[in-house]
Amino acid sequence: MSVFTGLKPSPIWNYFEDICRIPRLSKNEGRIRRYLVDFALKNNLDVKEDSIGNVLISKEPSHGTEKRKTVVLQSHMDMVGEKNAEYPHDWSVDPVIPIVTDGWVSARGTTLGADDGIGLASQLAVLADKNLKAGRLECLFTVDEESGMTGALNLDSDFFSGRILLNLDSEDEGILYIGCAGGMETIGTMKYKPVSPDKQHTALEISLTGLHGGHSGDEIHKGYGNSVKIMTRLLWKLSNQFDISVSIFNGGNLRNAIPREAFSVIVADRSAAGEIRNVTEKFYLTVLEEFGKLEENLKISIRETDLPTTVMDKENQLKLLASLNCCPHGAIAWSQEMENLVETSTNLASVKFEEENEIRINTTQRSSI
Ligand SMILES: [Zn+2]
């Protein structure tokens, strides 16, 4: 008896069980490709392959639907292979063993490969359905999605004829995506002149941690704090009230993440240190109040540290803080066609002090137009 007995629709689960038995890591799709071609031949369906290894199986329209537009269904043949350290599994020969626990399908000791095995299984079930009422269907199976997308990237535009394509590789059940934002990265770099600080001065380290962060694609409009922006605002404020010199300012990490932390070291006259701490603490309370419930875990702390060997020259320090202050972050425009859809956004992702007195500012933009 199959582990999937009772799961519906049964044709999909039957094909998925077949697919689980076929090793198919990225760039090793030979066996799954042969399985697809055999399936097509067994079911009297047209099949072709291109030079990179993509497969297309076509199904003629059912009676009375000949005039409908051709629809392309697409999935990818390969899967990501991860396994538990102690589980013996050879990805080049061993089958994935599906198990069902508490209504969830997973695999014994390894990844299941439902991404995108369930996409393949859905296409095969549709192709094999003798009672399907549908116009001409083209089922496209691409290779190597998980490690470079070489299948999709090398696809010839006349490999298939349909101009409506449904990609069957999403994580959200019951949701149809009709578009996707494009993205780009904009990187700014600048150099500064390193200057030796006055030996009589003191150094203060400011740490900003505990922000929510989030994904720049999914959460840019939620109003979470940006650690680079907040640290800039503090340094800007301090530099307007006191004679401070910035030694380092690092914040943020990945380009698609809203930055959660930032750290800086500043140098100032000893007599000003107490007042700098007071201003910083007041600033912290102001920011906490501004964000309210959104950023309850924000922490800004300031403490004395060793005097650094160099600080920024004043001219470039002003340029850096002014640039970061002006640099936009967040949703820039909203769709006029769909409610609550961000159309264009930008993420001020990171600022990093690097080798040879260079500062690198990384930003990413997304837009659906
Ligand atoms: Zn996928």
Which ranges constitute the DSSP H helices of 130-226? Answer: 150-153
- pLDDT recorded at residue 148: 86
Hey, what's the torsion of the CAs at 149, 257, 192, 328, to 10 degrees? 110
Rounded Cα gap, residues 180 and 72, in angstroms: 18
pTM (two decimals): 0.69
Q: Cα–Cα distances in Å, from 46 out to 49, 347, 359?
A: 11, 47, 57
Query: For 142-168, what is the mean pLDDT?
Result: 94
Question: Please, which residues bridge with residue 331 across strands?
Answer: 345
C-alpha of residue 46 to centroid of ligand 1, in Å? 25
Could you give the domains of the chain?
10-167 (3.40.630.10), 183-367 (3.30.70.360)
Query: For 143-168, what is the mean pLDDT?
Result: 94
Rounded Cα gap, residues 214 and 221, in angstroms: 10
The phi and psi torsions of 285 (rounded to 5 degrees) equal -65, -35
Query: Which residues are catalytically annotated?
Result: 78, 145
The model's pLDDT over 219-272, given as tens digits with 9 standing for 90+, comes to: 999 999 999 999 999 999 999 999 999 999 999 998 889 999 999 999 999 999
Q: Please, which residues have CB within 8 angstroms of residue 185's CB and are 6 or more apart in sequence?
A: 255, 362, 363, 364, 365
C-alpha of residue 146 to centroid of ligand 1, in Å? 7
Rounded Cα gap, residues 35 and 122, in angstroms: 15
Check: CB of residue 364 under 8 Å from CB of residue 184.
yes
Would you mind telling me the total number of residues written for the chain in this entry?
A: 369
C-alpha of residue 336 to centroid of ligand 1, in Å? 31
The one-letter amino acid code at 24 reads R
